[in-house]
Amino acid sequence: MSKISVLPPSGFRDFTPEESAARNFLIERISEIYLSHGFQAIAMPFLENLATLEGKGGGAGNEKLIFKVLKRGEALTRSLEAGAANLADMGMRFDLTLPLARYYSRFKQQLPKPFKVFQIGPVWRADSPQKGRYREFYQCDVDILGSREIGAEADCMAAILKVFSSLQVENVELHLNDRRLLAALKDSDLSEAQWAEALVTLDKLDKVERAGVEEELTAKFGRVPEGIRLVLDGASLEKLMTIESESVSSLKSLVEVLTAAIPGAKVQFNPSLVRGQDYYTGTIFELRHPDLSGSLGGGGRYNRLLEVFGGEEVPAFGGSIGFERLFLLLQEKADKLNVSSTPHVFLPLFSAEMRAPLMKLALEMRAAGLRVDIYPDAAKLKNQFKYADDRKIPYTVIIGGDELASGVVKLKSMAERSEEAVPVNELVHRLVQLSLKSK
């Protein structure tokens, strides 16, 4: 047999048992918090029709990054005969927002209004893999569809901020801006397309600093447009009120509400915040952390995205936590992801005859909430104990034929390197005591 590579595809990852336990813990924690804020989970396929993904919804060029699924059978043959056009019919979703827009358009008659929803799951992008950038990664979205006021903004952001505070990730900054304000800042002699280009340049402020932005703008337009200069000068909300009062009032209210309602929230207006997606129509936000370049998440209002699916305008707001970056941040502070999926108790197998009695005993222990591992083979005890050590199982119960006959077993603690004799009918109680203590 020829040897096949043991590696996953480039840009994709395998996770160790420890990483998987930590990731599952994190997903569960985020779910709980989103639920506690009144959001409901929904689920959609991981694949969508290409027409859905390539519609006007993608934005930010993400539709260029779609992993496309090859047609099959006759459909493929026909496409090849027709000059290899349209070889694919489906694609991997590249975000969770566009599928949500399809979902809401499909079910809106039967959904509560507004619809408060969350999704945690993988998305795929055919980016060039590099350190910290993967082709398969998780997003954790909260969205409110059908609400026009800043309550939707406040609600989503509060839930997202709560995720960070509950995981003791301190110093998360919430940066706020509004696309309407950015639009209003356009110099009158620039076209819409030129202004979009200017904003793309402004968006690089973090990376290239003011001098870099000004240089690029001057190269493109022969000058730094007045609206951008205002932003670079750090114009205050008060000053900008005269330019676009609606978005600026809503930004002011948002900063006030979030600051008043969430103790310790670091909320700030940031006029240079642009964000990539084409589909944003109002408030945009981003979560930043001093220890990371780039963002921990973000989102915005996308009141027109649902028109893609033929319905009327639906006011919509949503945000997302960058799961992989949060995970990385927590991994670096190892104690923050201190979860264990290790069994509490190990039962070595002394002989094949002990298998059924041990399994029955394990049933009782498991019913009491303990995780119990029986060694599957009657192997050398040395190997069995090495296994328990490797898995860091804190307690081992020695039950051979003698112990079964006498009704008294030996209970060994790995941490304390101690051993005690316990009557078998008190064993479960004793173990529950011990493993609760060891937590």
Q: Least CB distance from residue 126 to its own copies, whole Å? A: 5
Pairing assessment for the beta strands 316-322 and 345-347 based on DSSP bridges: unpaired
Which amino acid, 378? Answer: A
Tokens matching residue 175: 């940066």
| DSSP reduced 3-state for 127 | coil
| DSSP reduced 3-state for 368 | coil
Beta-bridge partner residues of 123: 137
Tokens matching residue 271: 């006029």
Positive or negative torsion for Cα 127, 131, 136, 138: negative
Check residue 3 for interaction with its own copies (CB under 8 A).
yes
Size of the residue set binding its own copies (CB under 8 A): 114
Q: Least CB distance from residue 67 to its own copies, whole Å? A: 5
Q: Least CB distance from residue 358 to its own copies, whole Å? A: 8
Q: Which of residues 152-181 bind its own copies (CB under 8 A)?
A: 152, 154-155, 158, 162
- The set of residues, in sequence order, having a beta carbon less than 8 Å from that of 234 and lying 6+ positions away, is 271
Q: Least CB distance from residue 143 to its own copies, whole Å? A: 12
Q: Which of residues 42-81 bind its own copies (CB under 8 A)?
A: 42-49, 51-52, 55-56, 67-70, 72, 80
Between 218 and 338, CB nearer to its own copies: 338
Q: Which of residues 120-139 bind its own copies (CB under 8 A)?
A: 122, 124, 126, 136
DSSP 130: B
Q: Which of residues 320-359 bind its own copies (CB under 8 A)?
A: 341-343, 349, 352, 355-357, 359
- The set of residues, in sequence order, having a beta carbon less than 8 Å from that of 193 and lying 6+ positions away, is none
| DSSP reduced 3-state for 187 | coil
Candidates 19-27, 198-206, 209-217, 289-297; binding stretch for its own copies (CB under 8 A): 19-27
Check residue 309 for interaction with its own copies (CB under 8 A).
yes
Check residue 400 for interaction with its own copies (CB under 8 A).
no
Distance CA 419, CA 437 (A): 17
Between 237 and 243, CB nearer to its own copies: 237
Check residue 114 for interaction with its own copies (CB under 8 A).
yes
Check residue 31 for interaction with its own copies (CB under 8 A).
yes
Positive or negative torsion for Cα 376, 380, 382, 383: negative
User: Which residue from 107, 170, 212, 433 is in contact with its own copies, where contact means CB under 8 A?
Assistant: 107
User: Which residue from 129, 132, 151, 264 is in contact with its own copies, where contact means CB under 8 A?
Assistant: 151
User: Which residue from 183, 232, 237, 378 is in contact with its own copies, where contact means CB under 8 A?
Assistant: 378
- The set of residues, in sequence order, having a beta carbon less than 8 Å from that of 107 and lying 6+ positions away, is none
